[in-house]
Amino acid sequence: MTENGLIALSGLANGLDNRINISTIREYIKAALVNTNDPEVSRLACGVISDISNAKGENIGDDLDFFMLPLNQILIN
Q: Are 38 and 76 in contact (CB under 8 A)?
A: no
Q: Are 1 and 31 in contact (CB under 8 A)?
A: yes
User: Rounded to whole angstroms, how far apart are CA atoms 32 and 59?
Assistant: 23
Q: What is the DSSP letter of 1?
A: -
Q: What is the pLDDT of residues 11-30, one digit of tens each?
A: 888 887 777 778 888 888 88
pLDDT of residue 4: 85
Mean of the per-residue pLDDT values of the chain: 84
- Provide the CA 62 distance to its chain's centre, in angstroms: 13
pLDDT of residue 73: 85
Q: Are 6 and 41 in contact (CB under 8 A)?
A: yes
Would you list the domain boundaries of the chain? Answer: 3-76
Q: Are 64 and 48 in contact (CB under 8 A)?
A: no
Query: Averaged over 25-44, what is the pLDDT?
Result: 86
Higher pLDDT, 33 or 36: 33
**Prediction pTM value:** 0.82
